[in-house]
Amino acid sequence: MTPFIRTLALAGLAAIANQAHAESGIAPDKVSFAQVAALDGPAAALGTGMREGIRAAFEEANRAGGVHGRMVNLDSFDDGYEPDRSVALVRKVIADDSHLGFIGAVGTPTAQAAQPIATEAGLPFIAPFTGAGFLRDPALKNVVNVRASFGAETEAWISYLVDGLGLSSIAILYQDDGFGRVGLDGVTQALDRRGMTLAAQGTYTRNTVAVKSALLDIRKAAPEAVVMVGAYKPIAEFIRLSKSLNFDPTFVNISFVGSDALAAELGPDGAGVIISQVVPFPWDASLKVVADYHAAIAAVDPAAQPSFVTLEGYLAGRVALRALDAAGPDLTREGFLAAMNGLGSFSLDGLDFAYGPSDNQGMDSVFLTRITDDGNFETVAVPEKQASN
């Protein structure tokens, strides 16, 4: 081989390498997404639930031939709900350059650390399992949210407790990090709009169940309700300890708690605990998208049971698939991002989503549920006083 031919060959190889780099995570027969989320520790049920739901949506599409002939793959990486681990894994995914983008991250503190890195690298960041306001900045063109914001959830709590039930003494337990403080801000603002302040507040450290000190502080104020911003294991510990001390106010939790995991952790102590939700009732198969979800999770795991978290994961997967389809057969990351930003308003088999130039959040609905005596869930009826407002 002459030097000239060798130079041409090397140039050709470089061009092929550059093209592969430009279309990272994309092959003629496959496209891959990465999930960096808690798969162990006190928030593990959230990460694994999102993974199961996303995979159910992807496998549903794959059984129908994929998207434009490509099978859709999900690789999940465990960050243990710790920001430092999340950052390290997100950087590794970006460096390995084998995924189109991220989907199904779990948590505010982890997203707060990881999202700016994904944004700087130009990778999609789809459907994080958090209602944090910073992710709803319309300037973030790589971020697509599915769920309503934490601000909407906390307003729904206070509307129910104060406007509906007429309660006047409300305390809060929150995780002492960015997630918990977002919830604290939402509650204090909702109370302030009604000329009220918190009766008491307590905190615990992320990835621990050290809640006893917070409980003793809150119990002194004898509040009528305790609203809670945390993960299911420490929240369950707080409620169990409260009831053992004959302290039994109305307990209200944020959707991030993981409804099914909390009910399982609490057992009989869960009866009456309220949780706000941001996706449809997972057992209501009269809504076609929920019926599709039932079939999809059963196809992946015949023993799988419906849950709020896996339904959210399934909806996240369906939104990603819709953007993949809109991006067309000549898929590139840039084309996929453009398709994400052009989703607009649409219905997923009866469930409405609305995106726009200044709105990267697809759904706005919040409703309240209550754990029943048998560990299942029922919707919470809105009191007449609240309904008439």
Task: Report which of residues 300 and 11 the model is more confident about.
Answer: 300
Q: Could you read off the pLDDT of 172-206 as tens digits, one per residue?
A: 999 999 999 999 999 999 999 999 999 999 999 99
**What distances in angstroms separate CA 304 from CA 79, 251, 294, one per listed residue?**
24, 28, 9
Mean pLDDT of 5-32: 59
Establish how many alpha carbons lie within 13 A of residue 194's alpha carbon, considering only the half-sphere containing its beta carbon.
22
Q: H helices of 193-300, where?
A: 212-220, 232-244, 259-266, 288-300
List pLDDT tens digits, range 91-102.
999 999 999 999
CATH number of 25-147+284-358: 3.40.50.2300
Q: Is the pLDDT of residue 6 over 60?
A: no
143: exposed, middle or buried (C-beta count within 10 Å: 0-12, 13-18, 19+)?
A: buried
What is the DSSP secondary-structure string of 16-64? HHHHHHHTTTEETTEEEEEEEE--SSTTHHHHHHHHHHHHHHHHHHHHT
CA distance 110 to 264: 25
115-121 CB contacts, 8 Å cutoff, 24+ apart: 115/140, 115/143, 117/87, 117/90, 117/91, 118/90, 118/94, 118/142, 119/143, 121/94
User: What amino acid is encoded at 154 in this protein?
Assistant: T
For the segment 340-355, what is each residue's pLDDT rounded down to a tens digit?
999 999 999 999 999 9
Per-residue pLDDT at 357: 92
Rounded to the nearest 5 percent, the helix, strand and coil shares of the chain are: 50, 20, 35
Return the domain boundaries, the chain. 25-147+284-358, 150-277+368-387
pLDDT at 133: 95
pTM for the full predicted model: 0.90
Q: What percent of the chain has pLDDT over 70?
A: 93
Report the CATH number of the 150-277+368-387 domain. Answer: 3.40.50.2300
Identical fold, 25-147+284-358 and 150-277+368-387: yes
